[in-house]
Amino acid sequence: MASQEFARLPGFRDFPPEEFARRAHIQRAWRRVARRYGFEEYDGPPLESLGLYVEKSGEEIVGQLYNFVDKGDRAVALRPEMTPSLARILAERSRGLSKPIRWFSMPQLFRYERAQRGRLREHFQWNVDIVGEAGVAADAEVAAIAIDGLRELGLTADDFAARVSDRRLLTALLGVIGVDDDRLGVAFAVIDKIDRLPEDKADRLFADDVGLDDLQIGALRRMLDASDLDDVAEIFGQDEAVAPELQRLREYVAVLEAMGLGDFVQLDLRIVRGLAYYTGIVFELFDRKGELRAICGGGRYDRLLERVGGEPLPAVGFGLGDVVLGELLADRGLIPAYERSLDYFIVSVSEDERAAALRLAHDLRDRGHVVAYALRIQGVGKQLKVAAREGAKAVLIVGPDELQRGVVVERDMTSGEQQEIPIGDVG
């Protein structure tokens, strides 16, 4: 046990090989899917100027920053999310790139969160963004990638769904209900928390902070409970401001349906997203049983690039974390068993065969095989035990008589069968 003084910090993880394999399994799937959609991989620095987040991300994340003043007196922060870095990187170089820009990344992010299931103080987050395309086809494309990222790992429409909303539609609907423009931000903040608040407390906030009466709160609740667009259209569809917003969301759903992903999509106007920069369609992925926190969140943010000093480019994307996803995969038995594996373990019968064994090992490695051997002199029995423990598929025994005849003994570790092979023919 490490002494208390050197213990791992709360909310941080070690990745010994077994844990690392699980993380690599998830990240390989993410990378495969992003490449299949024609996206290019990028990264940025883990440390950024504090100002990048203070102005762009919104209060919730700013309260969770790991920030400090560096030795050059700069106010800096470990990145809590990737989107501001992406905006900054593109502000410098987007003019030279053909649009739409389709980039993905898998950064490790840091947030000083309250410890709870599914939330740590570091996590890896798959970020996929399309920059330079304002149409709903781009919104649908990134949602499809998020869905496919989970399908690639074996999850189905029975396991998770995308809950979809639109900040513009919500703004129009709140206008019809009678929310004043200057109370919209407060209304969004209460709606964002509504699943975590007792009903009477939320109603009090709608009354006191948003200024709604009982009738208006009733209409708001009916709207938030609507589970498909037809319900919303029936109640509010006649309104001039609402109709075009509804139409856009219909087109978005139609694109996902055309791809065959309709079963994964459901309307949920309670999704507004905590981050400050979203401007349009937003979505989160949740497990169907509702046991876990959000697996993924994203949406359209058309003004962020300009606000960071770049070209005014529309943008849409998501972040999908490895923590909740890892829990869901474990619950569904979808994490592959960890196995060590070697193609060959080379056993030297005595010190005299050492040089020949080293040569053989190196030749095999040059040809791409995974090879190990004992790093110190050991008896043959002990070496065979180590070979089995390390998951060797075959053992090559290099002995004095065999060497003289230019052969080695190959033992298949599954069948136990042995045969002599000319040393040049191995592998």
The site for ligand HAM (CB under 6 A) is made up of 81-83, 111, 113, 119-120, 123, 125, 127, 129, 275, 294-298, 317-319, 321, 323-324
Shortest distance (Å) from residue 139 CB to ligand HAM = 11
* Tokens 């899917």, residue located: 33
The nearest distance, CB 81 to ligand HAM, in angstroms, is 4
- The token pair that represents 330 in the structure block: 């474990």
In whole angstroms, how close is the CB of 208 to ligand HAM at the nearest point? Answer: 27
- Judged by beta carbon, residue 47 or residue 292, the one nearer ligand HAM is 292
- Cα separation, 160 vs 143, whole angstroms: 13
Shortest Cβ distance from residue 258 to ligand HAM (Å)? Answer: 23
Instruction: Take residue 54 and report the two structure tokens written for it.
Output: 């203070």
Give the CB-nearest residue to ligand HAM: 321
Q: Phi first, then psi: what are they for 116, rounded to 5°?
A: -160, 165
Q: How far is the CB of 15 from ligand HAM (least distance, A)?
A: 15
Cα(184)–Cα(206) distance, integer angstroms: 11
Strands (E), 36-144: 40-41, 47-49, 67-69, 75-78, 101-105, 108-110, 122-131
**Per-residue tokens: 103:** 């980039």
Q: Which residues are 299's β-sheet partners?
A: 282, 317
Query: Over the Cα atoms of the chain, what is R_g?
Result: 28
The answer to whether residues 286 and 295 touch, using CB atoms and an 8 Å cutoff, is: yes
Shortest CB 328 distance to ligand HAM, Å = 10
Element at 75 (helix H, strand E): strand 75-78
Judged by beta carbon, residue 119 or residue 270, the one nearer ligand HAM is: 119
Q: Measured from the CB of residue 142, what is the shortest distance to ligand HAM in angstroms?
A: 8
- Sheet containing 47-49: which strands, arranged edge to edge? 47-49, 75-78, 67-69
Is 8 or 71 the residue whose CB approaches ligand HAM more closely?
8
- The tokens describing 169, both together, are 């539609």
Angle among Cα 325, 329, 332 to the nearest 5 degrees reads 140
What is the number of alpha carbons within 13 Å of residue 122 lying toward its C-beta? 12
- Of the two residues 61 and 384, which places its CB atom closer to ligand HAM in the complex? 61
CA quadruple 190, 196, 197, 202: dihedral sign = positive
Q: Would you say 191 or 324 has its CB closer to ligand HAM?
A: 324
Minimum CB distance to ligand HAM smaller for 53 or for 373? 53
Residue placing its CB nearer to ligand HAM in the complex, 166 or 203: 166
Closest approach of ligand HAM to the CB of residue 303, in Å: 13
Closest by Cα among 235, 301, 225 to 268: 225
Question: Smaller CB distance to ligand HAM: residue 58 or 391?
Answer: 58
